[in-house]
Amino acid sequence: MNEIPFTDIDWHTIEGIVPAIIQHARNGDILLFGYMNQESLIASLTSGQLILYNKTEHKLWRIDKPSDQGMSIHQISVNTDKSCLLIQVTLKDTDCLSHYTSAFNPHLTSHLSLFDELIQKIEERAAYPDPKSYTTKILDSGVQACAKKVGEEAIEVIIAATSLDGGEIIKQCADLIYHILLLLNAAQLNFYDVLHCINEPMNN
């Protein structure tokens, strides 16, 4: 978690508070909109947990009650005119993903949310194996077997592409992506590190 100087924030526009947009650090969904004052920002930076300011009740709102599951701060950024915070958070419990979706519309979730949901399901299957599950079978086969399966699925994509069948190409690409996610899990690697690696050349 980064720390930002208090001088980088305009505390005077709204009587000592600033708006705070709370974003899921992994999938980009906007989870909450709230406010922070200096006390709540200090408390958040000290604890590493999201603590907002309730401007109606004039008290701190700590996001770690059982119903809220808790949010750990990943990064805090300030907009260019120093009047708003963007706070990226991770959720303590994957079960609370169903509790926090888009703050504006449950259907306004990013495409990354679909990946995140799929990754969560794979992680759950890895933690709680089901002998009847195809996912469990592939994960239990080990990294080398997962890699071989990725190779087989890649060949299926090539075959579909040569047939110029758009629907089949999409289907086989979906299968390939799913097996890549299984391989990453088996190798204890993070899909979001892959995205970060993709993003680096784009920023150069």
pLDDT in tens, 157-169: 999 999 888 999 9
Q: In this prediction, what percent of the chain has a pLDDT beyond 70?
A: 80
CA dihedral 49, 66, 123, 195 (to 10 degrees): -30
CA distance 99 to 69: 9
- Look up the pTM and report it: 0.56
Q: pLDDT value at position 15? A: 82
* SS3 at position 53: strand
**Integer-rounded Cα radius of gyration of the chain:** 21
Q: Which pLDDT band, with edges at 50, 70 and 90, does 186 fall under?
A: very high
Going from the N-terminus, what domains does the chain have, and what CATH number goes with each?
A: 6-91 (3.10.20.810), 112-199 (1.10.287.1080)
pLDDT in tens, 13-71: 778 899 999 988 877 778 888 999 999 999 998 888 899 998 888 889 886 554 445 78
CA distance 3 to 33: 20
Mean confidence (pLDDT) of the chain: 82
Whether residue 125 has pLDDT greater than 60: yes
Tokens, residue 67: 């119903």
Classify burial at 36, counting beta carbons within 10 Å of its beta carbon; exposed 0-12, middle 13-18, buried 19 or more.
buried
- Give me the phi and psi of 54, to 5 degrees please: -85, 105
* Selected residue with higher pLDDT from 111 and 171: 171
Q: Which of 67-81, 142-156, 173-187 has the lowest mean pLDDT?
A: 67-81
Whether residue 110 has pLDDT greater than 60: no
- DSSP assignment of 68-123: T--EEEEEEEE-TTS--EEEEEEES-GGGGGT---SS-TT---HHHHHHHHHHHHH
Q: Which pLDDT band, with edges at 50, 70 and 90, does 142 fall under?
A: very high
